[in-house]
Structure 1
Amino acid sequence: MPGGNLVRSYDPSAVLQAAFRRFFDHIQIDEAWLTIVRDAARRGPVVYVMRNLSFLDFMALDHLTERHGLPGVRFANDLGLWVLEPFAETWSEAVLRSRRVSPTDRLTEVIQSGGSAALFLKRPPTLLEKAAHGRRRVSSEGDALVKALFDLQGRMDRPIMLVPQVFVWSKRPESLEPSAVDFVLGPRDWPGRVRLAMEFLLNYRNVLLRAGEPIALSDFLLANAGESQETLVRRGTYALLRKVERERRAVLGPMRKPPDRVREEIIRSPKLSHTIRQLAGDGRAERMLLTARAYRMLRELEAAPDPETIFAMSKAVQGILNVLYAGLEVDTDGIERVRQAAQRGTLVFLPSHKSHIDYLLLSHVLHKHSLQLPLIAAGDNLSFFPAGMIFRRGGAFFIRRTFRGDRLYAAVVDAYLRRVLRDGWPIEVFIEGTRSRTGKLLPPKLGLLNMLVDSGLTIPDRDILFVPVSIGYERLVEEGSYVRELLGGEKRKEGTTALIRASAVFAERYGRLNIQFGEALSLRDLMKETGIDADDRVTPARRRELTKKIAHRTMGRINAVTAVTPGAIVAVALLTHGKRGLTHAELLDRVRQLLLVLQRQGARCISS
């Protein structure tokens, strides 16, 4: 560690320490955050970088670093806590800014002595700054401190490690248009003290802390050698803010827009507008009629995700799972891969489809692991009252089984998918098109997937990642109806009556569930592999080739990660036995042999 006296860390009173333990110990952190910070600390002094000034973020970060034995925070800029200023040496220094050491000198002293710091890049403008600059950007103290770090790195051998941090105090998504609450209590970015206290007390049990990929300042300077200091500060600040924003978006998803605005954007999209003009010809009245019809189609189609409904549905799904199933096993390594993929681009989940439970299960698992929920492509047979209303507010959008003979409907669905992908929404599409009655994967249906690929090709600045998902069951709640259909019976139409009749399934238990995630497929990588350049005009034939490649690789990866259940192993042992029967001991021996073969092949197996 470099020489010099180490600047003291924040030492809260016993009362504050008890309060911090009461509230901050609930903050959800994962092993990835601990690993990132510890690895960074081994390389050099750590600077925890956050977007907006918040004394609550500082106090929570200070408590968690001390609790987990991580580099303690010995500097934080512009907290504005007056007599409670954490790093003031005397009362006069706490009350009078003129008595304090300048922030740049204090930060330099902390880093040179081997300590760690918390750096807030933005602060709310003061009333004088608002009056002087209006809506224009006000130079914040964060810029000067970033410049000081660049200057200091030039005099140090060890790299200064900038670790982006984000606290998510509320999972309620942000909206583009301010609400009445924003005007009264302050916006989400700069909440007033009343709003800050309310959000904290209401959500402290569900707060998340995430860390982005660290930036080694020495490596950043080498990569940008020859640039002016002003350019370095601007690029460095932008890179840090972008990493913080990626972490926030992975949890909260895109900014919400008013439904009317979304519909207007979709109707005015070039491709849909062109289709309406083609179908209407020169007649203005015909064009207005087709536009009105397109609006009606959109209202029947669109999802309307609502945070309260999603929260209530997650609780209800957990209750249903507890009653119907013996347990749920989740591929935790796969979840972490999904989290990383969400930072690289927009996700399209492509799950296997065996049961109506599938619609609820993936969203429930993602919600439990604090990942943004996808919009789910569901058949319009599920839009009946009251389930359709609930599913729509849970994130489902309803599409017809076939688009044949209706160019306008196909164009509306295509425009809707383009809009939600451009806005950054994850999407869930059941690639088989319908539920498998036998448990085997069905041949992939390419219609919706082709639309998604076509939409992804028009978004050059963001990758689309297709995530294969295997959802496995020991028993299916629909097993009775499947047997009837396989024996030649007709499929019963979904509806309110069928929903009431389905309550009989709660009389039984259906074993264990499992959900597994395959390696994500990058659209950009597959474009390169297929010989398609980002600037190429892709013909329909080449797009179909790309779509088929994605579809078949997805099916292969779903098969590769599908877990073997105890029931399946026992069934194989019985069905492959050549005689009329076998003893219990013989059955166990055959099951052990099968398990050994599966383990040698690297198959995933579910515990009984």
Structure 2
Amino acid sequence: MPGPAPHVASLPDPGDRALVVLVDAPSGLESRLIDRWLTTAAPDNGRRVETVPAQGEQLAARLTRGDNPLLVPLRLVWEPAGPAPEKPLLRLLDAVTRRSRLRDRARARRASRADQGHSEGARHRIVVGRPATVRELMLRHRRERMGTHTEDFVRFVAQQATLALDRAERGVLGNRSKVPREVSDQIVGGAHFAREVRRLAVETGRGEEEIAAEAEKDLQSLVAAMDPTAVDLFSGVLRPMHDRAWEVHADTSGLEPLRELGAEHALVFLPSHRSYTDPFVLAEVLRENDFPRNHVLGGNNLRIWGLEALARRSGIIFIRRSFGKDLVYKAVVREYFSWLVAKRFNLEWYMEGGRSRTGKLRPPKYGLLSDVAHAVETRRAADVYLVPVSIMHDQLQEVHQMAAEQTGTAKTPEGLRWLAGYARAQRRPVGKLHVSFGEPLSLRQALSSAGDPALERSPDDVDGDATDASARRLALQKTAFEVFVRINRVTPVTPIALAALALLGVRDRALTLSQVRRVVEPVLDYVESRKLPHTGVESLRTNGGVAEALLSLRQQQVVSAYTEGTEPVFSVEPGHHIVAAFYRNSAIHHFVNRAIVELSVLEVDDDDDGRAALAAGFTHALALRDLLKYEFFFPDKETFRAELAAELSLIDPDWTEVGRPVSRTKEILLASKFLCAHRVLRSFVDAQWLFAERLAAWDVTRPVVESELFDDCSAVGQQLLLQGRLHGPEALSRELFASALRLAGNRGLVEVPDTGGAAARGTSVEAEHADLAARRRAFADEVRAVVGRVVRIDETDARNRQESTGVRP
């Protein structure tokens, strides 16, 4: 039955079959109006139209009569009387009474007035779902459900009628009202669920009944409803958390392709994540553009007493933050996701696993993506489209707390008291919020291009062998990285980000408005030449525009101003460099390739030219890419190579000329008004160098303890900062230390050799300890060399702008 509804409600011609209308009418008023419509809409073939309720004993009796009638589901829907009220209290009242008896009586009075010829009568429409014969439904039931008894078939027919009518109703009222029905019953009664139970029973050695009971309990804890009244209530309660703080600007040009894709496939929205309010903002944007509400995944830490029940009825799925070892829960999540995407319900989660503490994207978590991929790999869904979403804030109220967490402050646990304080903090306007939609990514195509072996397996082979599992993980990683690359492409450059970029580029100095403008103007030229997305950064070409951006940062206590001299000067507020870095980092990804090109050109030998110079430059660029791979997201190597070539052409348009020496390109680079490696990469390579030095000093016979090593980095880093050997305090970030630790682990510099392992490899543990110490020192020296190149760019840029890096009158 599910399928697109006809444009004009009418009953189909059943031919030689009986025509049975399945009436979905929750009230007597709706039943009477449907009966009235049926008297004029019956086919003109002389056959009587039977009507039965869409569920219950009468439906069961009709289905077991033994013939093969054509079943047609039918429903009356009330059209909205007008737009939703603007005032919150009235909007809340409207949501509460929308389905009440009081509202039904009012509708009845208006319908009666309409019968008497009054134009202001209640407006309603009859919707007809796609018909199906009893035999067609029986075949579908046997294919999709394990049960074959009559009671289950009657329930299945009722569910299919409801789904068909829901789809037809959306053709009248719009897509916002897409609602999942009887989810648990459909999943538990399905053939896929029964197969999962049998597989888990064999794998764990437990009984099928025990597994099934645990799985049903887990499923009940997960399944979210989508009650339209609850959705409106939940939105009304939480809307003030973003309504006052930001003026929302959405680039909706990326939504039109999604509208067409969403008609055939489930969409998975994967936004960047900087604020707790992100899901509410995105929900509002989608609602205003007539998209159905997403099923939004939230961690169990957000189960707030008093709001949890309402949130679950509004499509929020509360999920454990970690469940890898719980095989039953893992299988239930996978089955629930497969059901949702097979039924084309849209999903939304935040792949970073939490809010960004640095302003840029965090490393993705792959577990939930793996569960959605399973639906495609097992042919439960032909395809799913991943939707990259950028949510960008000019400023954030919560950024100071997140910055404190980077230096070791404990995170405040979520709860009612926390929520009240958070809501109070959002009352003050802090600027604009920008929502952009990236190019959607076919999950099937992405996995196929990345070589996912699970696409070729039998749908019943859930896990495959160990080799397949490794290749599948790599395919998921590449897919997630591509989503993040697409998020970055549509994330705009903001005036706030560029103002922070300018101030963080100088150490212990204040800048005048004109000096900030001189730093920013070449960046603006670059943004224009690259046609990067931005939000009015051209205003920074004037002192007034620069002052406005700095004033915004000053109001948030990120920037301080000294105004008692001949002209105002601005600097980063002491102790708030990590906050300023947060705003800078929101746009920094647009400049990373340029920074890599600058550092790579410096390393190429002046005697090289042509192919040799190109190969050497790309080798140096790949080494930097490897060093930064846990900080930034890069496309595949061929795309990366093409992007670097485009960057080099902006520096030296003639670099491809035969016989052109590298020295000429270096001259042009070092004379450029726009050098950015020091402003873009300094805090990251400083943090890596600090970490690498402390790792090299760590006893190679002792296992690395993350918290102790990070504490050591912070303590020594503070000393180096006071000595002037680190550029700025923003490098003393535990998030940056964590990225450096992942890089070191990837290079085999963290795990300590033991005697047994050394013997198995035919060496001594002493020799392996010495080798580890040497490799750790080489890592520190490698990063130190990169820092040296960054410093050279810094000094060259200061010279080009005729500014001193030292202290002089």
SS of alignment partner, residue 490 of structure 1: coil
Partner of residue 524, structure 2: 595
Partner of residue 372, structure 2: 452
Match of 1:554 among 483, 488, 500: 483
> Structure 1: how far apart are the matches of 2:250 and 2:78?
24
Structure 1 residues 255, 481: CA separation in 2 closer, same or farther (over 3 Å shift)? Answer: closer
Mapped contact 1:250–1:339 kept (Cα < 8 A): no
Q: Please say if 1:371 is aligned against 2:328.
A: no
> Structure 1: how far apart are the matches of 2:113 and 2:480?
47
Partner of residue 386, structure 1: 306
Aligned length: 411
> Structure 2: how far apart are the matches of 1:313 and 1:282?
41
Match of 1:277 among 193, 201, 206: 201
Higher relative contact order (CA 8 A, sep 6+): 1
SS of alignment partner, residue 50 of structure 1: coil
> Structure 2: how far apart are the matches of 1:523 and 1:280?
31
Please show how residues 152-301 of structure 1 align to structure 2 within 5 Å: 169=79, 251-252=175-176, 256-262=180-186, 264-265=188-189, 269-278=193-202, 281=205, 283=207, 287-301=208-222
Match of 2:275 among 339, 355, 358: 355
Q: CA deviation at 1:322?
A: 3.0
Partner of residue 564, structure 1: 493
Can you give the 5+ residue segments of structure 1 that lack an aligned partner in the other structure? 1-48, 55-79, 82-96, 98-122, 140-166, 172-179, 186-192, 208-240
> Structure 1: how far apart are the matches of 2:112 and 2:184?
31
Mapped contact 2:494–2:534 kept (Cα < 8 A): yes
Match of 2:229 among 308, 311, 314: 308
Q: Please say if 1:130 is aligned against 2:49.
A: yes
CA deviation map 1:252-295 (0-9, x unaligned): 57563224524534796144312442366464xxx434333222
> Structure 1: how far apart are the matches of 2:503 and 2:353?
32
Q: CA deviation at 1:437?
A: 0.7
SS of alignment partner, residue 493 of structure 1: coil
Structure 1 residues 576, 369: CA separation in 2 closer, same or farther (over 3 Å shift)? Answer: same
> Structure 2: how far apart are the matches of 1:132 and 1:251?
28
> Structure 1: how far apart are the matches of 2:271 and 2:417?
28
Mapped contact 2:254–2:438 kept (Cα < 8 A): yes
> Structure 2: how far apart are the matches of 1:583 and 1:203?
64
Q: CA deviation at 1:379?
A: 0.5
Mapped contact 1:353–1:430 kept (Cα < 8 A): yes
Structure 1 residues 322, 350: CA separation in 2 closer, same or farther (over 3 Å shift)? Answer: closer
Q: Please say if 1:405 is aligned against 2:325.
A: yes
Structure 1 residues 602, 398: CA separation in 2 closer, same or farther (over 3 Å shift)? Answer: same
CA deviation map 1:578-608 (0-9, x unaligned): 7822222333344343223212212111248
Match of 1:478 among 371, 392, 398: 398
Mapped contact 1:470–1:517 kept (Cα < 8 A): yes
Structure 1 residues 297, 194: CA separation in 2 closer, same or farther (over 3 Å shift)? Answer: farther
Mapped contact 2:79–2:123 kept (Cα < 8 A): yes
Please show how residues 570-585 of structure 1 align to structure 2 within 5 Å: 570-577=499-506, 580-585=509-514
TM-score scaled by structure 1? 0.59
> Structure 1: how far apart are the matches of 2:421 and 2:51?
67
> Structure 1: how far apart are the matches of 2:203 and 2:71?
51
> Structure 2: how far apart are the matches of 1:532 and 1:247?
37
> Structure 1: how far apart are the matches of 2:366 and 2:239?
33
Partner of residue 244, structure 2: 323
CA RMSD in angstroms, aligned pairs only: 4.2
> Structure 1: how far apart are the matches of 2:349 and 2:362?
14
Q: CA deviation at 1:575?
A: 2.1
Mapped contact 1:453–1:543 kept (Cα < 8 A): no
Structure 1 residues 338, 196: CA separation in 2 closer, same or farther (over 3 Å shift)? Answer: farther
> Structure 2: how far apart are the matches of 1:461 and 1:290?
26
> Structure 2: how far apart are the matches of 1:422 and 1:499?
35
> Structure 1: how far apart are the matches of 2:51 and 2:300?
55
Mapped contact 2:264–2:344 kept (Cα < 8 A): no
CA deviation map 1:84-134 (0-9, x unaligned): xxxxxxxxxxxxx9xxxxxxxxxxxxxxxxxxxxxxxxx655794425999
Partner of residue 9, structure 2: 52
SS of alignment partner, residue 409 of structure 1: helix
TM-score scaled by structure 2? 0.45
Structure 1 residues 265, 308: CA separation in 2 closer, same or farther (over 3 Å shift)? Answer: same
One-letter amino acid of the counterpart of residue 411, structure 1: A
Q: CA deviation at 1:547?
A: 1.4
SS of alignment partner, residue 522 of structure 2: helix
Mapped contact 2:357–2:402 kept (Cα < 8 A): yes
SS of alignment partner, residue 468 of structure 1: strand
Percent identity reads: 28
Please show how residues 63-74 of structure 1 align to structure 2 within 5 Å: none
SS of alignment partner, residue 52 of structure 1: coil
Larger Cα-atom Rg: 2
Mapped contact 1:380–1:399 kept (Cα < 8 A): yes
CA deviation map 1:391-423 (0-9, x unaligned): 212211111111133211111111111111112
> Structure 2: how far apart are the matches of 1:469 and 1:478?
21
Partner of residue 473, structure 2: 544
One-letter amino acid of the counterpart of residue 526, structure 2: V
One-letter amino acid of the counterpart of residue 290, structure 1: I
SS of alignment partner, residue 523 of structure 2: helix
Mapped contact 1:341–1:520 kept (Cα < 8 A): no
Q: CA deviation at 1:577?
A: 4.5
